[in-house]
Structure formats: C-alpha cells, structure tokens
Structure 1
Amino acid sequence: MGFPSDLEIARGVTPKPIGEVAAALGFHDDEVEPYGRTKAKLSIEGIERLEKSGARGKYVVVTAISPTPLGEGKTTTTVGLAQGLNKIGHRAAVAIRQPSLGPVFGIKGGAAGGGYSQVIPMEEFNLHLTGDVHAIGAAHNLAAAFLDNHLHHGNALNIDLRSITWPRVVDISDRAVRKTIIGLGGRDNGVVRESETVITVASEVMAVLALASDLADLRARLGRIVVAETADGKPVTTEDLKVAGSMAALLRDAIKPNLLQTLEGGPAFVHAGPFANIAHGNNSIIADRAALATSEIVVTEAGFGADMGAEKFFDIKCRASGLAPDAAVIVATVRALKMHGGVGKIVAGKPLDPALSAENVAAVTAGAQNLVKQIENVRAFGIPVVVAVNAFPTDTVAEHEAICSVALAAGARAAVVTTHFTDGGAGAATLAEAVWAAATSGEAKFAPIYADDMPLAQKIETIAKRIYGADGVDIAPAAAKRLARLEELGYGHLPICMAKTQYSLSHDASKLGRPTGFRVPVKAVTLAAGAGFITAVCGDMRLMPGLNKSPGGERIDLDLEHGGEIVGLF
C-alpha cells in the first residue's frame, strides 16, 4: 500500500472531546461554546480572564520562501512544529487561518496541514467550520445592499457614483463576476452602475475581524469603513449608511476564536482567513492572544513568502496587536529552490516535472538566493530565523546540506531538515529544539521597517526596496493623486498592505529566484479605514481568483455507501 491520503490519516484518529482540550487550557465550561464534539468557540471574557494572569507564551511566526503553485508545506510545518514542541515537553499551541472555499474547490485544496501534521477534523476545518466566513460575507453584502438602497431612495448623502469602492463578495473563485453591471431591469431594481465582486477573504470585513481586539473595537472598526465619497469629496462610511450596527450583530459570534486540535491532541486556534497576496494574510489577533495566554509557546503562520504575509504580520498585525514575535521559521523545499534556480516548471494540476525529482545541487544552490533574501527580510525586523527544510522523498542528502549551508551563511540561527509530514511531531523534534532555543534566546529586537508618520508613497517605496529588492516604484498618476488625497483626509499614518503576486519577490510572477533591476508598478490605491491600512495594488493583481481547467471540486463528492462521508478532499 502507498502512503495514506490526508483524509485517511485524519479519519484514523479519534479526536479528544473538545471540552477536554479547552479545560486543559484553563477555560471554564461557560466560556466554551461547543459546535458538536470536535470544535468550539471561546468567549472573549474567558480569554481576557486568562490574560490577567500575566503569563504570555513565546510567539513564533512561520513563513516561507517564494512558493510554487503547489505550496511548500507551510501550514503542515506550522502544525508539525507545534506537535514537535509538545513532543519535547513544552506546552505548545498552533494558531492558523481558516480556509477559503475558493482554494478548497480550486487548485490548492484544503488548508488543515497534511500527512501526520494536520488540524482535525479535516472535513469540518475545510468546509464551513463554524460559519465565520459566511457571517463575514453576509455582513459585507449587507453594507453593499444598504449602499445601493440609499442610492435608490434618493441619495440623501449626495454620493458620487464614480467614487464607490465597496464591492460585493462571494467565497468561491468565480471570474465571471469580477466586473458587473448592477441595477438592470428598470427603476424598481435600483440604480444602474458598474460594480465588482471579490472573494470573501479579501473583504475588509475579514481584515476587521482579524485585527479587532474585542467586540467594542470590532463595532468601532466596522463603523469606520469608507464605502464611497460625496460629490464634494467627503468620505461616506457604513456609520453614515446606518448599517454598521447590523454588521456588528452578524459578527457577534464570529469574533470568538475557534478551538480545534492537532492529530496529536494539541490545541489549535483557528480564526479568520485573509489571503496574503491581496489582503494581510494572517489569522486573528484574538486567537493569538488566547493561545499566548494559555501556552508556553505559540506557532502561528503568515501566508505565502516572507515578502508577503510575514511583512504584513510585522508591519500591520503586530502594529495593531502590540505583540512582538520572538522568532521566525522560514520553510523551504528542494523542489521550489530548484525551480527558482531555473530548473523545471511547476503547473498546478499537471504531473511534476521529472527534472525536479533528479538530484541537482547546483540548481538548489542557485535558487537558494530566494531563501537568502527571505532570511534578510525577516532579520530586517530584528527577529532571529530558523530555516525548516521540508523534506520530500525525492530529495537527496546533498541537496539538504546545500540548503542548510546557504541558510547558515545568510544569517539563519539554525537550519533543520524536518520530516513532520511522514512522522508527525517526532519528525519535527529537532526543529522544535532549534525554534525553542531561538525563541528563548532574547535575540529578538522587533521593530517595523517604517514609521507611522512616514509619507504613504515613501512607505510603499520602503517595502519595495527593502523587502522585494526593487530599484524603486512607479506609482500611476491616479494612484499618486489618491495617496495625496488620503493624507489630506488624515489617513497618512496607516500602514501599507501591498497586493502583488506571491510567486516572485517582484510584481512579476515570471521573475524567479532573487530578481534585481526591476521597479514595482503601483496601479491603484484603496483605503481600508476600518481595518486600518491602505492597499497598494501592484502589477496585474486580481481580487477574485478563477478556477483552473480541472478544479479540485471535480473530485469532491459524498460516499453514499458509507453513510455519506466526504471523499476527494486533499
């Protein structure tokens, strides 16, 4: 028999009752809201009670090199590391995002980890969980409905239709609704105008939920969301539309973090799910706080490479939370570094290029310049780095040694080959030792890479030059004008959320390795006043993905001969 599927592995474990997991963390019965036997929501009051003890665990963020379309096992490493830390005797928790249905039914599949390093139950994790993403979509679309209803009933706020920036959302990859005309069919159907639809995880409401500190902060942030401007250029907020309170009501339960468990029974906090290429790409602050208050060490994950989710973790999330990380892990794979070294090509849905399975130390070493830059990126924030080489069966010892040698020379504190996919926590024990040593070393001297009072255009340029390695930025005239206007309106202190391709350090997905001699084009700028950042859209980024020719959803079904079990998830 071959290696079992992720779903088979997940179903081969009997989860602990979720109340038992919560009790071990110190939560009282009335602070735990079970959703069946295997998942629960945790009350904000319970989290705040536990925080009063003053204890705070070590804080570790897992990031990666610039990934391939298949991913490099970052979530698997995050879960495996937490299991490994528990294995060597430290009370560890994992804190990760909940998945979007777009990738689940599209290219990448689920986001619960893989092999023997997963969060369970895998099916529930990947399909709806406790309904938070649906609540976010409902709250977002409620604001859209109120906006169009206001226009229909006379537009008392004198909204300039050309200034409307609030789209609609759906959590399925659906390219056909990226750009739409709404209000067709006569006056009873509203005002005819151009609109768009973005994927729910890119919604500002998702970002608000992830960055809010409590229910009052959530309510205040929702009220600050700007959806349009008046004819004389004044911002129009959801508070002006009198919809912010209803949005908050829809999210009253969604703000509570979800508690699940790993395959080995350790606690897993799962909450919020923004994409790192078009949003800030990190799980919620509240989930991290809950984990930090109840564990010796917390392993969280930032989306895609260190130039993407990790930069936003440091510059956006840590600014909002006030929390400082103690260490970072950068995940690398042999196959990805070969690709960055100019060998082979990875296309999702197609067989792996044979060149990526053949030993090629030279290609690995050349591609490892991407790893070198990502190590530099994390160290720019004053955080010690451990490199985790996520091992695959086709790797060779020489290739692993080449990666570790380059990583150490580039300033990584340690570089470890890890086999958590096949061996679970035991396979990550050596990595766990290295991460614990880094997190307790006292070496972290965290600081964002730009000041709050730096001009917005200069913040964008700082990220492009220091993190991407660009020569500079080319800001389109309309975007430059918008930046100046945002500063006039008092938003100049906000951090920047860069929207760009995840597959390259540059804005161009075809530029692999460590590209040089490029400038980053910024074609548009949008305000997320409620979330508390400004998005700079680089290159040809889209906020609504599309399905590929053979999406993963084609293989998902119910096994009616075995009680309607879900099959085909991966």
Structure 2
Amino acid sequence: MRPIVEVAQQVNIDADDLELYGKYKAKLSMDLWKRVQDNPDGKLILVTAMNPTPSGEGKTLTSIGLSQALNHVGRKTIAALREPSLGPCMGMKGGATGSGQAQILPADEINLHFTGDIHAITAAHNLLAAMIDNHIFHGNTLQLNPKKIVWKRALDMNDRALRQIVVGMGEGNGAVREDGFMITTASEIMAILCLSENPEDLHDRLGRIIIGYNMDGHPVTARDINAVDAMTVLLKEALKPNLVQTIEGTPVIVHGGPFANIAHGCSSVLGTKMALKLADYVVTEAGFGADLGAEKFFDIKCRQAGLAPDAAVLVVTVKALKYNAGVKRDDLAKLDISAIKIGFANVKRHIENLKKFGVPVVVAINHFAQDWSEEVQLVQELCREIGVTAEISDVWEQGGAGGKKLAESLLTLLEDNPSNYKPLYDLEQPILQKVSTIVKEIYHGRDISLSPTAIKSLHMIEEQGFSHLPVCMAKTPYSFSDQPTLLGAPSNFVITISDLRLLAGAGFIVVITGNVLTMPGLPKVPAAEKMHLDENYHIQGLM
C-alpha cells in the first residue's frame, strides 16, 4: 500500500484536506468540497448486475477493476463505493472489498470498523430511540402514543432474535411496549447521511424524521423530541467521505452503506459529487441486481442529487446465467449451452430496463477459471445480437490489465452514445401508480396486491401530504418478482405489498414486498465461524 497522502496527490488533494486515520485511510474535509465544488464534473459510470446468486457475482470486484483499468488506459479515475456492513461480513457474504487483484485496501479495516461511520449512525439512531422512551417516562408532554411509535432500535449485525422485543420491563424502567431492531444499513439515518450534501442539509433531514404519532394521530418528529442537534454532533465526522485505495493505488471514496434490497443501495451523494469534481471518470455501484440498486440509483439518488449518469456497466457471470436457468448449484460448473440461452433472458431484460433510463449499456462478463470458453463466447454472441457489447473482465486475476478491453469498450460507448438520462416515473404521480410503473416496467409483473396494513399505511402517507416522494422498493434480490425462487425472467406475476413506511427525512417511501425483513438473520454456518487471528495477529477468514 502507498501512503494515503500520495494516493490523494494523484487527484490534486492536498495533505491539508485530509484527516488521517493512520497511514492508509483518511477522511476528506468539508473545506475540500468548498474548494472543488465549482470544478466541471467528470463522467459518471454506474456498475450494476443481473439478478445474483446467493454468493454474489463480483459487482464490487468489477467496479474496482474497471476503475484500475481506466487508469491503465490513461483516464484519471476514482471509484465511489459503499462501506461494508458487519452484518453480512459476519453472516453469509464475508468481506465486501473485492478480492484478488481488484480489491480496496486496507481490506480488513474497511470490512470491520473502518473510520467508525456505521457505528456513529448506529449511535445517532439509538440516541433518538432512547430520547423517545425518556420523553414518555418523564411525562410525555407531546402525548406520544406508545402503540404508534415507528422508530425502532438499530444494530450493525444480523440478529433475528431482535426483530420483535419488549422494552420497559421491570420496575422504574419506563413504559412497557413492543419494539424491535433493524440492521443499521436499513436505518433512515443511513439513508439521510448518504443523501445529505452538507451539514445543514443533514440537520434539516434529521429534523424531519417521523418517530411516531400522538394520541390524535398527528406525526411527531425528531425535532419535536429535541434530538436533532445531538444527533448531528454524533454524525459530524461520519458525514465526511473516506479516501482509501485499490491494490494498484487507484483512489477510492468509500462512504455510506445502505442495502439495496431493504434500502436505497447507493453510496453517498457527497462522496460521489466530490469524486466527480476530482476525476475525469467516476465508477460507482448500486447494490444487488439492476432491478433494485440501479432503479433506486436512477429514481432516488440521481433525481434528488441532480446527478446525470453517463453509462451503465451490467455485470454478468456464466454461473449466474445457469443459476437463473434453474441449474442446481452442484451442476453450475458443468458445460451447459442450453442453460446459457435460457438464463440470458434475465440479462436481456436488465439491458432493456437500463435503456429505459436513457443510459447506454455495456456488459462485463466477470470471468472465473472454471468457466467454459464456449459458454463465455455464447454470452458475447447473444449480447451482440441485441446490439450490446460484452467484454470479458479478468480483473480478479490480472487487475486493471484484465479490464482493459472493458474500459476501452466503455470509452467508445461514452463517445458514440451520449446519455439521455431520465427517471422512470413522474414524482407527481400517485404513490400506487409509481409502484405499478416499477412493477410493470422493471419487474414485468402484472399487478400489485396490498395487505390491509399496507392500505392503512398508504392512506396515512397520502393524508400527510407525502404522495410526491419517490418510492424505494424493498424486495428479494434473487428474482424480478417478490419470490426468491422465481428465477430467470418471469412475467405476469402479482407483487404483494405488505406495508409502506414513510421516511420523511430521507425523502422517500419504502414499499415492503413479500416477506422482506429489515433485520436479517445469520445462516446456519455464519462466516464468523471461519475467522481468527493467526500467530502474527493477522486476520484470517474474513475475505
């Protein structure tokens, strides 16, 4: 690793603009933003993916490798990525900093506590929760209805036992009421931090958080509880983007980490905007498949922040094509041309969907050693037939050099096909019309069905005057539908909406489909069981 001061110099960041966290990571000062905010913007490239297998398909790996490859061909590039959450690191996924010759460093520190941003968000979230119960305990002058408090606790860990709890038990411990925990990545404060453009914006958004309703049914906010100033204090440092590097020394801004299945799935607006002012090309990513992360990137993040993306890179793997064709996991390594043809329907739909947002698309085939050349070539041929270039990405083994063809094809695409980015729906449309547009245009479903709880929540949001907000779909990442086992390119299905939640501070409405949970659980054998310190006190088993 190079000292982070040297990495920063590549993009004209002075040492005075860095707040160092050791030799290899730093926060970027707000003064830097003031100095560069009038610079022209670079090109913004979104990396997204087809519907993944449960083990993921290398979207972050490809983002890192592509940023290295663009630097290889002489383009000043920064990657702008999300922070990993401890929950999946200790659960099913393990580390989330890439791997092989396409990773960000120092990987162990980024995957664990990093610069403390997620811990600060957890603290601010739980401070608000504590002040709510404290307000009730000391007389409840706001007449909060304990049965109508919607602000849960948060924890950056997968812990299914905390989904539903009872607080206040025992003498003198406050009002006994039902409560629960969500994972920090699903917290509204995570979304607020990622969408805020400065400390004043952060403070204003925090004040708009609706924490519950009073006895007359009127909303009560974090501002009413007098929690906003203290929350802002806790988040002061977390708002500043973090600078690290790839294994090849490419600068990377890693900031914010909302999940894309239960939140909006994009890194921070402030980090992305800083990158655009510092580099000619910025590679960013959106979580899970394009039906989730990319749709929210275009319809929520870009719309709120005034960003205009220039192109999209769709990551696919041979394994995922076969998985989406129904091939069993034990058979994924076997040559199966027919499965590639069937599974390509999933890729084709994602390409068609991305083009609906007006951005040009190139496909990156994340290459694995066990891939059959016949299958890889077939994917390229199928892409050519629908007018899209597909390049093999070998960045895991070769780093930036393995993504050179992908980078060159992307540059050609940018030159020959200017973006005409536009959101999918109009904000002034009714809430259900926006949801139906996503379901029909992106998922290819037939209709939506609302539970009684969802109908009640919808009416409440409409009555409060928030119908103009964008919608954030909380859905399984493994299918276009709300059923994780319905693979490939299904159509004519009905999406079941179980509830709607208003995030007035973040500025969107979360639409919960199927059985999606905001607090994940650990698998039978969590990744945590494989981690340990070796005799030299180095972490093993995290990646």
TM-score by length of 1: 0.94
Matched residue of 1:160: which SS?
strand
For 1:300, what is the secondary structure of its paired residue? strand
Using the TM superposition, give the Cα deviation of residue 228 of structure 1 relative to its aligned residue in structure 2, in angstroms.
0.4
* Cα distance in structure 2, aligned partners of 1:410 and 1:41: 44
Structure 2 match to 1:308: 292
Matched, 1:566 2:539: yes
Q: Deviations over 1:8-50 (max 9, x none)?
A: xxxxxxx111111122222222221010000000012202311
1:164 partner amino acid: I
* Structure 1 equivalent of residue 281 of structure 2: 297
Task: Output the CA distance in 2 between the equivalents of 1:45 and 1:314.
Answer: 28
| 8 Å CA contact 2:360, 2:417 repeated in 1 | no
Tell me which residue corresponds to 2:178: 194
Aligned mates of 2:515, 2:415 — CA distance in 1: 42
Give 1:116's aligned amino acid.
Answer: Q
Unaligned stretches of 5+ in structure 2? none
Secondary structure of 1:440's counterpart equals helix
The equivalent residue for 1:41 is 27
| Contact 1:376–1:410 (Cα < 8 Å) also in 2 | no
Rounded to whole Å, the distance in 1 between the matches of 2:229 and 2:360 is 43
| 1:40-83 deviation digits (Å, cap 9, x = unpaired) | 00012202311223x21100000000000110000000000000
Q: Does 1:171 align with 2:156?
A: yes
- What is residue 23 of structure 1 aligned with on the other side? 9
Structure 2 counterpart of 1:388: 364
The superposition leaves residues 282-322 of structure 1 with CA deviations (integer Å, 9 ceiling, x where unpaired) of: 10011111111111100000000000110000000001110
Equivalent residue, structure 2, for 1:245: 229
Task: Compute the displacement of 1:232 (Å).
Answer: 1.4
Q: Residue 417 of structure 1 aligns with which residue?
A: 392
The 5-angstrom pairing of residues 219-238 of structure 1 reads: 219-238=203-222
Q: What is the CA–CA distance in structure 2 between the aligned matches of 1:411 and 1:292, rounded to whole Å?
A: 29
Q: Work out whether 1:428 is the aligned partner of 2:403.
A: yes
Distance in 1 of aligned mates of 2:185 and 2:62: 23
TM-superposed deviation, 1:391: 0.8
Q: Which residue of 2 aligns with 1:350?
A: none
Distance 2:252 2:415 in 1: 22
Cross-structure match for 2:374: 398
Q: SS of the residue aligned with 1:19?
A: helix
Contact 2:391-2:406 at 8 Å conserved across structures: yes
| Conserved? CA contact 2:500–2:512, under 8 Å | yes
Aligned counterparts, 1:484-523, within 5 A: 484-523=459-498
Q: How does 1:64-463 map to 2 (within 5 A)?
A: 64-186=49-171, 188-345=172-329, 353=330, 355-412=331-388, 414-463=389-438
Q: Aligned partners of 1:81 and 1:452: how far apart in 2?
A: 33
Whole-Å Cα distance in 2 between the matches of residues 31 and 261 of structure 1?
16
Output the CA distance in 1 between the equivalents of 2:459 and 2:377.
50
Q: 3-state SS of the aligned residue for 1:189?
A: coil
Counterpart-to-counterpart distance in 1, 2:264 and 2:161: 25
Deviation at 1:439, TM superposition (A): 2.6
SS class of match (2:391): strand
Quote the Cα distance in structure 1 between the aligned partners of 2:75 and 2:366: 22
Contact 1:326 1:440 in 2 (8 A): no
In 2, distance between residues paired with 1:326 and 1:173?
A: 36
Counterpart Cα distance in 1 of 2:344 and 2:263 = 27
**Alignment pair present for 1:554 and 2:529:** yes
8 Å contact kept, 1:389–1:415: yes
Taking the aligned partners of 2:51 and 2:454, their CA distance within structure 1 comes to: 27
Shift of 1:220: 0.4
Report 1:454-493 matches (<5 A): 454-493=429-468
How far apart in 2 are the matches of 1:298 and 1:85? 10
SS for the counterpart of 2:482 is: coil
Matching residue's letter, 1:192: V
Amino acid at match of 1:473: I
Cα distance in structure 2, aligned partners of 1:48 and 1:384: 32
- Deviation of 1:170 (Å): 0.6
Query: What is the Cα-based RMSD across aligned positions, in Å?
Result: 1.0
SS of structure 1 residue aligned to 2:166: strand
Distance 2:45 2:117 in 1: 25
Aligned residue in 2 for 1:9:
none
Distance 1:110 1:80 in 2: 17
Kept in 1: contact 2:312–2:360 (CA 8 A): yes
**Distance across 2 between alignment mates of 1:151 and 1:277:** 33
Identity %, equivalent residues: 47
CA distance in 2 between partners of 1:436 and 1:161 (Å): 56
Q: Secondary structure at the match of 2:144?
A: coil
Letter of the structure 2 residue corresponding to residue 487 of structure 1: E
Q: 2:61 corresponds to which letter in structure 1? A: T
Deviation at 1:435, TM superposition (A): 1.3
Distance 1:52 1:442 in 2: 26
Counterpart-to-counterpart distance in 2, 1:226 and 1:506:
30
Letter of the structure 2 residue corresponding to residue 390 of structure 1: N
